Copies of this chain bind each other. A is one copy, B any other.
Amino acid sequence: MPRATVARLPVYLQCLDGLPTDRQTVSSEELAAASNVTAAQVRKDLSHLGSNGVRGVGYDTQRLRRLIQRELGLTGDVPVAIVGVGNLGTALANYQGFGERGFRIVALFDSHPAKVGASVRDHTIRHLDQLDPKAGIAIGIIATPGEAAQQVADRLAGAGVRSILNFAPAVVRVPPGVEVRNVDLSTELQILSFYLAHPAKAG
C-alpha cells in the first residue's frame, strides 16, 4: 500500500463522517470534491482496500467507513502517552478529539521536578524514568523542547514504543521498525513563508 494512500485514508474517513447520516452511498466524484483530490485518485486509493464499490452506484458509506477503520487498525482504543507537559503537551492532554477518534491517553510524562506529581485531566504526571515497557503504549507523543527530543525518542524506542509523533523542533533518529512523524510549527510557517515570497505564476 503506497504511503501516499495511507496518508489520505484518514481524510476520506473524515469526509465520510461529515456526510449526512441518511446518506447510503457516495461516488468517487463526491468524495474527491470533499477531500480536495481527483476522482481517479479516490478510486485508485480505495481499490487498494479491495473492490468495494458498485458500478453505476458508488460506495456504501457504512461499509467504506468500516473498511478504512480496519485498514488503519482503529479497532478498539489505541493507548497513547504524552511526553512533555508544557504549553503544547497540556493542550494535547486536554484535547477532546482523541477519544472520538479511537485514541486514549494513558500516561503523561515530564522530567521537570515541579511538574511531576501534578495532575492534568485525571492523569498524574510521572517522571520519564517511570515509563514501563509493559504498559503497552502504542504511540508516544513528544511535546518537549527540541533539545530533549532525541533523548525522549531513545527512551520511548527503548520501551518498545514503535510509533512516535514528534512536535519538537528537532530531527530525531530512531532504530529500524520505529515510525516517526514530525509536526513542527516553525517548519510549517517557514514553508508557507516561502510561498508568500514566491507566488505561483498566474495560469
Contacts and interface: CB of A to CB of B under 8 A. Distances in A.
A88 B95 CA distance: 8
B6 A191 contact: yes
A16 to B, nearest CB: 12
Contacts of A34: 171
A192 B176 CA distance: 15
A10 interface: yes
Copies in the complex: 2
A179 B190 CA distance: 12
Given A101-B189, A165-B188, A198-B1, A171 B14 contact: yes
Contacts of A13: 190
A185 B95 contact: yes
Interface in A54-110: 71-74, 78, 80, 87-88, 90-92, 94-95, 97-98, 101-103
B88 A6 contact: no
B97 A193 contact: no
B36 A171 contact: yes
Contacts of A35: 171
Nearest to A69: B190
A192 B181 contact: yes
Contact of A192 (B88, B177, B179): B179
A187 interface: yes
A101 B186 contact: yes
22 contacts: A6-B194, A6-B195, A7-B187, A9-B194, A10-B184, A11-B171, A34-B171, A35-B171, A36-B173, A71-B197, A73-B197, A74-B193, A78-B193, A88-B91, A97-B169, A102-B190, A103-B186, A138-B196, A165-B189, A176-B200, A177-B200, A179-B195
Given A87-B91, A102-B193, 18 more contacts: A6-B191, A7-B191, A9-B194, A10-B187, A13-B190, A15-B171, A72-B190, A72-B191, A73-B193, A73-B196, A73-B197, A80-B189, A97-B186, A101-B186, A163-B192, A163-B196, A165-B185, A181-B188
